[in-house]
Amino acid sequence: MTARHDTRDLRFRRPFGAVPCGTTVVLACEVDRPEGDPRPAPEVLLHYVYGLERFVRSVQRTVPAPSDGALRFSASLRMPGEPGLFLYWFEVRPDRARGDETPPFFLIGPSDRLGGEGRTDAHAPDYAAEAQGDRFPFQITVYDAAFRTPDWAKGAVMYQVFPDRYARDAAFDVEKARALRADPLRTVHAGWDEEVDHVGPAGHAYAATDFFGGSLAGIRSRLDHLASLGAGVLYLNPIFESRSNHRYDTADYLRVDPLLGDESEFRALCRAAADKGVRVVLDGVFSHTGDDSRYFNRYGTYEGIGAYQEAEGKGRSPYRSWYGIRRTEDGRLVYDSWWGFENLPAVHENDLSFKEFLFGAEGVLRHWLERGASGFRLDVSDELPDGFLRELRACVRGVRPDALTLGEVWEDASRKVSYGSYRDFLFGRTHDAVMGYPFREALLGWLSGSFDAAAADRRLESIRENYPPESFHAGMTLLGSHDVPRALTVLSGAEDPGDRAAQAQRRLTGEERRLGTERLRVAVAFQMAYPGSPSVYYGDEAGMEGFRDPFNRRTYPWGLEDRVLLAAFRSLGRMRSETPVLRTGEYETLEAAGDRFAFRRFLRSGRDAFGVARDGPAEVVGRFDRALRTARIEADGVPVLELEP
């Protein structure tokens, strides 16, 4: 006797995917028995739990129904009125009272937790947040019925810029740049095309303190380039004053780093971007600050008393309660820091004075939203408390109702676990959307030959199934970022040589670059046709290569771009931005096997996935072949783009 349940088959579960609170869901399973089997029909129980930090558990009896061949059992349930996870499984109990001695068994989710068809097991699944092993329940994401994400973010092409490495101001002066901060570790490159530092200043360890002088004015001067790529969103890595070139060690949340410009330059950038239909999203780093900051002030760089100085006994600081600083038995000062990095002291996010500083009437979020920002990408948001995130999003929406709150979460955010609990990430209360690293892993893994198209489709469909449509269509679908090797390098097949010294010397061979470029064009064609907000990491369109940090953060090679690759990015980006069905149309996989992947985006009676009437093609079909490295896109049956090696 066997049983079947498939989360992506409407015969077994409807409606598909994540649902609003209070939705009625029908769940069914089929029990197969050999033809002529005289045993009586079994009893099938539906077990379920729902909640997030704590779960309510119950059992529902299913109702048998006539079916061809297999015995069919179903139950109809109204989903909870509060957002959270609804986890379920079936138990098949043979009728022992009538002589069936078959052992009872359970129908549970697949061992990889990617949804779809379940499997049978002698034991019930483990639904605890930190469950070990391979027995898991099926999942339904239940989200706030009022959850809405900004319409401008849905399906928009996003362009990510690492500010120091994108473009200099025409008036850049290397000596003036060097004079902006008296820091023995800081160096400023005279030449834009020089190699990034990977060793550190003489006598010091690597500290990411070499600068090239990219600026906000430089970015503004290149907005036409963004427009040529069809970009509607400009996402900036941190721009606030910091010691390092990556600026994740914030020194002053209310001041633009002087090397980038000033607040007037930020306002000018936002105005110029808006004139081209581009929104600006800032990177917010709120789990830690820099040790060389106005707030911690370990080295006395800033006027006033920082938290570290109070701990040294040098006076009172308004920031002391933000940090966990203590003395050891031998008298040394130690403090909590982000992942053990001493230059990144951790912040107590639930400290009320810290939250007032960020969320208050004169707070950081209001300050930058009122000056032109359209939202924030939250650094390591899975390390921020849920309550803090709920206040943050409420603050952002209170200042600017159409602003975006985008989280850095690397896994499936609907069931993300950290600090021993499922997190409140995609239920309508904290994040609008998240970064799409699972998309990157699925697409680059398939194109690189790590697994076939069917396996890639399982990964992609799992996200589509688990994410609320509002998040799914606004979430980043990225191929690269400042935290991962360049997409071209990954797709070239080049192996990471290991340490930074070896990475600095390694360049792609001609054959590796050719292979990587051909695969990257297919990847971008797929990305630009797929749902979500396709993100272009600066320089990928130019053919930039590089392994991990800092080699994925080299300067943009203006005038030296790979012209063929750039042309592909431009034509695909414009196609995306100018075709409504590609921005918010519905999705269906047509083929996913071996080397071939095909899907369609479509309108239902002229309306998109949100019921909004859209002009343009009613259907776009994309067909991709990793072996031939080809892509073909058709709109209403007419070819609009073909890529061949």
Query: If you write DSSP's letter for every residue of 428-493 in order, what string do you get?
Result: SSS-SEE--HHHHHHHHHHHHTSS-HHHHHHHHHHHHHHS-HHHHTTSEEES--TTS--HHHHHHT
The Cα-based distances of 240 to 292, 348, 372 in angstroms read 13, 20, 15
Coil, strand or helix: which one is 316?
Answer: coil
CA distance 539 to 138: 41
Q: Are 252 and 294 in contact (CB under 8 A)?
A: yes
Q: What is the CA radius of gyration of the chain?
A: 27
Continuous segment of H or E residues that includes residue 141: strand 138-143
Residues involved in catalysis: 379, 408
DSSP β-ladder status, 375-378 and 404-407: parallel
Answer for the pair 243, 204: CB distance below 8 angstroms, yes or no: no
Closest CA to 541 of 518, 564, 509: 564
Which residues, in sequence order, are CB contacts of 210 under 8 Å at separation 6+? 186, 187, 188, 189, 196, 197, 245
* Cα 244–chain centre separation: 24
- Rounded Cα distance between 182 and 363, Å, is 29
DSSP E strands, 23-83: 24-32, 43-51, 55-61, 63-65, 71-78
Question: Whole-angstrom Cα distance, residue 483 to residue 548?
Answer: 7
Please answer whether residues 80 and 410 qualify as being in contact, where contact means their C-beta atoms are separated by less than 8 angstroms.
Answer: no
Residue 61 CB neighbour total at 10 angstroms: 10
| DSSP for 572-617, written as a single string | HHHHHHH-HHHHH-EEEEEEEETTEEEEEEE-BTTB-TTS-B--S-
Residue with tokens 């096997």: 593
d(CA 20, CA 490): 38
CB neighbours of residue 100 within 10 Å: 16
- 3-state DSSP helix/strand/coil percent for the chain, to nearest 5? 25, 25, 45
Residue at token pair 């427009």: 227
Q: Are 413 and 437 in contact (CB under 8 A)?
A: no
Q: Is residue 245 within 8 Å of 163, Cβ to Cβ?
A: no
Q: Any long-range contacts for 628-634 (C-beta under 8 Å, 24+ apart)?
A: 628/595, 629/518, 629/519, 629/521, 629/522, 630/522, 631/521, 631/522, 631/525, 631/526, 633/525, 633/529, 633/575
d(Cα 98, Cα 60) in Å, to the nearest integer?
A: 22
